[in-house]
Amino acid sequence: MLRRGGLRFLHRKLGFFGLIGSTLVFIFYTLTILPPIDVKIRRKVIPIEPILNLSQSDFIGNSDQLPAFEEHYFNLTASNFLSSGRAIPDTRPPRCRTKEYVLNAKKNVSVIVAFHNEAKSALLRTISSVINRTPPDLLHEIILIDDFSRNELNANILVNIPKTKLYRNAEREGLIRSRKIGALKASAEYIVFLDSHCEVNVGWIEPLIDRLSYNPGALYKATSTNLKAGFDWSLRFKWIPRSDEELQTNHDETSSFASPTVYGGIFLISRMWFHQLGGFSSDLEIWGGESLEISLKAWMCGGQVEIAPCSRVGHVFRKKHPYDFPHGSTHTFLRNSKLIAENWLEEYKHFFYFARPNAQGIKIKGNTDVGILKEKLQCRTFSWYLQTVFHEL
């Protein structure tokens, strides 16, 4: 169900070893911070004429001369072969097509894409899909953060791409800090984080903005999609089936529903709320755990996390990270997980150490910022989170 026709098509077409995934469609919002809506506009998703159609000659660059598969862990030949303006199947549940959304041109989005040694074709396809499938009045800007890639992206190629700004880190910061840098440069009301090897589908942004602009206290029905995003005690991501009870009370396939976490690096959040939450913790290194951390903070400190099934974003999953971690990816992930356990799990952190005994020996420094944040936002306890949000854990 998650990998619908369109993605299977993509998968076949690209011949990736990894999976091409699914509906990475998450939003955060807060119950307390939303200002009242001034201008409300209800409208359906209007198809947009694609304006960008880059092709192979734009894609091939220095970084792409290297042995392709080892460099990117996906089939670069196939990726380069696809034009960026290509049509892809509409994979939304059918009723999403006629749904009306509350949108407001003043509450538009900054899209943030951080990357390190990304294949040019994958990156440019990500950007073109955003340009081609986001209503111009809702897209304020695209912010690219080049995290010190080996080959600098030639900025000339971006000249013809509207609204796109490129920044390059002077040294390697890791994707987590790079996204945070992007968020600091963003100026729209909302920010969206996208991985650099995605392809957004038609109507992807409208359902997300819609949820953020409503009075979040309003009642809403959720969907027949039966998976939400969660994790296990080793703090590894896993899909969780929605309970029969949840499915019975909410069975509108187009409505968003609450989820313990987001999945991966793709979500929309109010910019102000992101900064109030302290963004992703700067102590987290490179990659791993940041979406869990921000989800816990969002829930425990007064917000919510939802999945919006009408918003579809294709994503290239890779078997391996194509970039290096200074201390190895397993160590980095374990260290990041330990930081999250120490900062947010309270007495439940013992379950984490039971699941990941190797984490005991890793040295981390205490973090006073977390205490200040909890105080300032009057964050609730992890035990509240377990009882209210994630009793399946």
Ligand X SMILES: *[C@@H]1O[C@H](CO)[C@@H](O)[C@H](O)[C@H]1NC(C)=O
Interface with ligand X by CB under 6 A: which residues?
15, 50, 53, 55, 75, 77-78, 81, 83, 85, 105-106, 108, 137, 140, 188-189
What is the smallest separation between the CB atom of 41 and ligand X, expressed in angstroms?
Answer: 13
- Smallest separation (angstroms) from ligand X to the CB of 380: 31
How far apart (Å, rounded) are the C-alpha atoms in residues 85 and 131?
10
CB of 203 to ligand X, least distance (A): 17
CB of 71 to ligand X, least distance (A): 13
Q: Which is nearer to ligand X, 55 or 169 (CB)?
A: 55
Q: How far is the CB of 18 from ligand X (least distance, A)?
A: 11
**Least CB distance to ligand X at residue 13 (A):** 7
Nearer to ligand X, 43 or 376 (CB): 43
Specify which residues 198 forms β-bridges with.
Answer: 315
What is the smallest separation between the CB atom of 257 and ligand X, expressed in angstroms?
Answer: 29
Residue number, 142 or 188, with CB nearest to ligand X: 188
Q: Which of left, alpha, beta for 239 (phi over 0: left; psi -120 to 50: alpha)?
A: beta
Helices (H), the chain: 5-14, 56-59, 68-72, 76-81, 120-133, 175-185, 206-213, 244-249, 271-276, 290-300, 329-344, 349-355, 368-377, 382-388
35/217 with CB nearer ligand X:
35
CA 91-97-102 angle, to 5 degrees, is 120
Q: Could you tell me the maximum CA-CA distance found in the chain, to the nearest angstrom? A: 56
279/97 Cα distance (integer angstroms)? 33
Beta pairing class for 257-258 and 303-307: antiparallel
Closer residue to ligand X (CB): 146 or 189: 189
Return d(Cα 308, Cα 45) in angstroms, integer: 15
CA-nearest of 215, 304, 308 to 254 is 308
Nearest to ligand X of 142, 262 (CB atom) = 142
Query: What burial class does residue 171 get, using C-beta atoms within 10 Å of its C-beta: 0-12 exposed, 13-18 middle, 19+ buried?
Result: exposed
Residue number with CB closer to ligand X (105 or 372):
105
